[in-house]
Amino acid sequence: MEVFSQRFFDFVRTVTFESKLRFAPTPSGFLHLGNALNFTLNWLAARYSSVLASNGPAAKIYLRIDDLDTERIRPEYLEDIFETLHWLKLDWDTDHNPPPRLALWRLNQSPITNSPITNQPITNQPIYQIHPAYRQAGNLQHYFKILERLREQGVLFACQKSRRDLEPFNNVYPPEFREQGLSLDTPDVAWRIKTPPNFPLPDFIVRRRDGVPAYQVASFADDLHFGITHIVRGADLEDSTAAQCFLARLLSEDNFLKINFLHHPLVLGEAGEKLSKSAGSNSLKAMREAGVGPEKIFQTVGAWLGLEGDSATDLLTAMRKRLA
């Protein structure tokens, strides 16, 4: 992990008081250890500038809910995101003044007594309400504008092929599938984008068959819209980074291409498999319910970075000394 720790510290040194980072969880399952490590790394990078700035301006870190995958989203998964951040004692910023109440918590289910945003008593209300600016479902107009710009460039094609059709090709999209002769206005077709040979995500989907903008477009548009300057994400998303930078080059969005990306190692299961929210792997909820504290999370991050600490603030203090 020595190589990663040096890369992380080099990354942190580029964060200034004008920088913007984000948490971007998807409420499609209970969060796992890897999600918590990612949250912590992003928080450390953002809050290190606060240490340097004392009481002056500092970098911001936003919480964005990636909730386009409506088939898998559940209220309990949304609750888990907020409870996890509260459990880890990680805060975030908002451009709204006064800050919006991003969630109304159910007192009979949540141990939290105050809102993590307003620090005011929480309304006993069974409905979750998230400020539309911070959820993908509230920003669809941005994604459709991106899709229209791509369509105008003539780089898209309609596709009716299913995952089963791709199995003989090891799920790598073959170039001959581009020639399906379908209009983009054909019902029940996905929109794919033509990519160069040997691209990490060949001809990736930009609009799903149900008409919903795909992840690559939504994530790209959000980071562009919020002016994100630094992103820490898992190594499993390196191909997504390449896809989103490809979109940025096509659309001449130079600000996106200036984003500083850092990809961290993945946390694997006992059998060496990638952890999955949908599979409940190493659920943080289960840890909390078992009375386990978050110290393990911070000790793991500390091991990655060569720092010691049982809390986020411990790690921040240790990092300040290391980089002084």
Residues 6+ apart with CB under 8 A from 305: 1, 4, 5, 8, 9, 315, 319
The CA-atom distances, in angstroms, between 232 and each of 109, 182, 208, 310, 319 are 32, 38, 26, 21, 17
Tens of pLDDT, residue by residue over 49-70, are 876 655 567 899 998 888 887 7
Instruction: Report which DSSP code applies to 122.
Output: P
Domain count, the chain: 1
Which residue range is the domain that position 76 belongs to?
A: 2-323
CA dist list (Å): 176 to 173, 184, 194, 199, 207: 9, 17, 12, 15, 20
What is the structure's pLDDT at 143? 93
pLDDT for 175 beyond 70: yes
pLDDT tops 70 at residue 163? yes
Q: Model confidence at 78, in pLDDT bands (50, 70, 90)?
A: confident
Angle at 306 between CA 291 and CA 58, to 5 degrees: 85
Cβ(101)–Cβ(127) below 8 Å? no
Mean pLDDT of 141-167: 93
Q: Give me the phi and psi of 100, to 5 degrees please.
A: -70, 155
Average pLDDT for 198-227 = 94
**Is residue 299 very low, low, confident or very high in pLDDT (cuts 50, 70, 90)?**
very high
CA gap 180, 210 in Å, rounded: 19
For 236, the token pair is 């499993």
Query: What pLDDT does residue 114 have?
Result: 42
**Minimum mean pLDDT among 46-50, 207-211, 213-217: which range?**
46-50
DSSP E strands in 50-207: the ranges are 60-63, 156-159, 190-193, 205-207
In the block, tokens 């997504």 appear at 240
* CATH number reported for the structural domain that contains residue 112 in this entry: 3.40.50.620
What is the per-residue pLDDT across 91-135, written as a single tens digit (0 to 9) for each? 888 775 444 434 333 333 343 344 333 344 434 333 345 566 667
Alpha-carbon 72 to chain mean position: 16
Reduce the DSSP state of residue 222 to 3 states and report it. Answer: helix
Question: Using N-to-C axis directions, what is the helix angle for 33-53 and 312-323, rounded to 10°?
Answer: 50
First to last CA, the chain: 21
Q: What is the 8-class DSSP label of residue 19?
A: -
Task: Could you list the beta-strand ranges (E) of the chain.
Answer: 20-23, 60-63, 156-159, 190-193, 205-207, 230-234, 260-264
